[in-house]
Structure 1
């Protein structure tokens, strides 16, 4: 007779009871923009202070809050370098909510126990009109309005998106959205709501089905909301927390007086190189960042971009050399499959912050920097030939497909650059160069 198959034991669902985790901490922080980056970054830092729990909201995805609620807010963080992934179970999210839970959102923002609101709403979220139903700024304003009516205790707003001066950007967006409000509320905003500037850094690619399999293998738990990230993490903050904050420094966060030079370094060197590779890499047959930085042409373009940016950077040269070395190690790691087309999303917000400042500085010195031109040419090809995810997609795709597409697209993001005939010609020529590369690398 054949030997019967042994009965397999089902993998238990990840919950606080199954994992032996602490009970949910009291909610003292609210987060808007529940997604992979928040769960790989701010939620991990907050876990270092067991007295602080997070109520996390997303207005895009009802499925993720449901999964996290079924898991009592827990999820597996897989930290991937070049060897076996390291795992930890993150327990700082006390509650997870979909965007339709408006009453709970307003109650949390009005609660005297809540001292801060962190946000990861993408670059586009800060530019959407605040008084529109469903916009991130509109939601924030509604929450602050309710807090004011409930007694007006102070609160800190902590944006964690890749924007220079993100605290100031958020402050201006909230002020503009509140222009039609009564004077008492507007005065309260000025006196009791602080806006903290931050620099955040941790490469966090989209999660795949295989990541859940790996999480189960490594932890023994069935996790329907795992997150994958790299070993490196950085969080720099500058600002006031009038009602207190978690001890984020226990997990490595740094509080500094001025973030400008660090913002510049992050946006130009890391994000700028990512944007360059996202638009030029596919032309040479590369799908991920680690593939791209191993390609000799793209590796040379990346180093040239860093050389160019370094000419205009504020931090000391030795700091930049060390940063570049670390970036190259991070980009080259095979543990993180960071897809170029994912990075290519939202170019109309990313290019003005990451590429154009360096390009303007170079043009003021009558130089035509190849890597910046390559990034713009690659973006033009992306707009013409690929599926475009961008808040201005319809407008930009139509402009890019016109006969003078390079000039028109440049005009949409910087009219001065669009009037630079030498630059426009260089971008057009580089489009032809990249298209030839596509034909040579089918």
Structure 2
């Protein structure tokens, strides 16, 4: 970088006033919620105070450039650069004093979160995991008599800290918006938050039930963790410590109430709907499900990126079969054919470099929500879940190829390792993602058959008898 190249800054202009708190300054948040907020018709009224999860590095980099950063929309034909200006403050997640101060401000109307499936530390039904050490420690912190001394470390612990600060300040209602890949994520987070609040303070729990709205969302924008050539930004006229690369496509669907207001995200293309379930299933099964299937099938074939796996005929056949099965259990009217065609174009973009090893993280919960969910619904519809069984088999083959201990992080890794080492690893691994499927002998037979044929070049599904 040339010493003469200026770093991004606001040039003395004021940032928008903080009216949104965000927990988790990751790449996806900056490519999605922050981008939508910057493109709202009333963007000048809606600044975001964004807090990191663990490391303070991103907050420190953004603070040096007044919260600004470059969003690089990377298409197969080239890049489009945009400076996003919606982050008014970038803070370390440990700056709990500022989190509390902002949550107690009546002008703040929304708290958004980008948390991984396992990052909530909740069980599949949304209730707190009683064996989670970090959650147990946060409960001790949140029960401290001295509110100023409380120092929770988990995302949901910090959310409770913020909500309690708002209650104590009588600052009015607020919306909590989950931006993740969990079905019914608003209800899921409400269940966990209220259950933890019940263990902390009955008054806090009652306030949350009466004053906090939990909004469900479906979020969609492929945003891999890749670097940007500093020379590209220098050629544009600035330097940036925290650029983000994403694809041109973006989609956001929301369901729920915003009692204290919100940005006009629909001006940037977001949709507010009465029933989000069809939209979140469309995205979770067709995009995320395909990503996971390409990952498991691609990695065992020595492939490295989504584009590589999409170009592989065997991997693509698995995905297209799975899509056909998933679409059959989706309601009409959610753009199936158009969405799938766009997905193939997006997956094939070689310049995004979405690495399969990155997608492999937290594989167990992903298989539960993406493959097992489709298989269960296919069974309920009276059909044979051949394609979703093959998807589950691809995951099991990937697990067993790594001696039951995948390199990718997985909060349930110990359970996976024990299941993989059991007398019947197929049945044990299926049981981790669905009790119903594990109880179906016919489904287990489909998975075993698919696993036995996984190395074959002909991936056409075998004819199967109806399941019992």
TM above 0.5: yes
Matched, 1:28 2:28: no
Structure 1 pair 14/403, CA: closer, same or farther in 2 (3 Å)?
A: farther
Question: Alignment partner of 1:412: what SS?
Answer: helix
Query: Structure 2: which 5+ residue stretches go unaligned?
Result: 123-127, 129-134, 139-152, 458-468
Structure 1 pair 9/416, CA: closer, same or farther in 2 (3 Å)?
A: closer
Cα-to-partner distance string for 1:370-413 (whole Å, 9 max, x where unaligned): 43223222222333313131111122122113331111111122
Cα-to-partner distance string for 1:170-223 (whole Å, 9 max, x where unaligned): 111111111124443222212211111111110000122xx1425424523221
1:37-76 aligned within 5 A: 37-48=28-39, 49-76=43-70
Aligned to 2:294: 277
Matched, 1:255 2:248: no
Matched, 1:124 2:141: no
Moved more, 280-289 or 43-52: 280-289
Aligned to 2:460: none
Cα-to-partner distance string for 1:10-31 (whole Å, 9 max, x where unaligned): 25352315xx584211111100
Distance 1:367 1:127 in 2: 34
Structure 1 pair 431/177, CA: closer, same or farther in 2 (3 Å)?
A: same
Structure 1 pair 362/250, CA: closer, same or farther in 2 (3 Å)?
A: closer
Following superposition, the deviation at residue 331 of structure 1 comes to 1.1
1:284-363 aligned within 5 A: 284-316=301-333, 319-363=335-379
Matched, 1:231 2:248: yes
Following superposition, the deviation at residue 285 of structure 1 comes to 2.7
Any conservation in 2 of the 1:348–1:413 contact (CA below 8 Å)? yes
Following superposition, the deviation at residue 366 of structure 1 comes to 6.5
Moved more, 270-279 or 397-406: 397-406
Aligned to 1:4: none
Moved more, 82-91 or 183-192: 183-192
Question: How many residue pairs align between the two structures?
Answer: 425
Distance 2:115 2:101 in 1: 20
Aligned to 1:155: 174
Query: Which residue of 205, 218, 230 corresponds with 2:224?
Result: 205
Distance 1:221 1:401 in 2: 54
Moved more, 214-223 or 296-305: 214-223
Question: Alignment partner of 2:78: what SS?
Answer: coil
Following superposition, the deviation at residue 168 of structure 1 comes to 0.7
Matched, 1:409 2:429: yes
Following superposition, the deviation at residue 369 of structure 1 comes to 3.8
Distance 2:216 2:417 in 1: 33
Any conservation in 1 of the 2:306–2:355 contact (CA below 8 Å)? yes
Distance 2:65 2:229 in 1: 14
Aligned Cα root-mean-square deviation (Å) = 2.1
Question: Alignment partner of 1:312: what SS?
Answer: coil
Aligned to 1:3: none
Distance 1:104 1:160 in 2: 22
Question: Alignment partner of 2:317: what SS?
Answer: helix
Question: Alignment partner of 1:16: what SS?
Answer: coil
- Normalised by the length of structure 2, the TM-score is 0.86
Distance 1:435 1:146 in 2: 56
Matched, 1:184 2:203: yes
Matched, 1:396 2:421: no
Question: Alignment partner of 2:70: what SS?
Answer: strand
Any conservation in 2 of the 1:268–1:355 contact (CA below 8 Å)? yes
Structure 1 pair 123/136, CA: closer, same or farther in 2 (3 Å)?
A: same
Question: Alignment partner of 1:355: what SS?
Answer: helix
Query: Which residue of 100, 103, 107 corresponds with 1:109?
Result: 103
Aligned to 1:266: 283
Structure 1 pair 358/207, CA: closer, same or farther in 2 (3 Å)?
A: same
Distance 1:401 1:88 in 2: 50
Matched, 1:146 2:139: no
Matched, 1:15 2:31: no
Distance 1:262 1:21 in 2: 42
Any conservation in 2 of the 1:382–1:388 contact (CA below 8 Å)? no
Structure 1 pair 420/132, CA: closer, same or farther in 2 (3 Å)?
A: same
Distance 1:122 1:9 in 2: 38
Following superposition, the deviation at residue 362 of structure 1 comes to 2.9
- Normalised by the length of structure 1, the TM-score is 0.91
Distance 2:231 2:295 in 1: 27
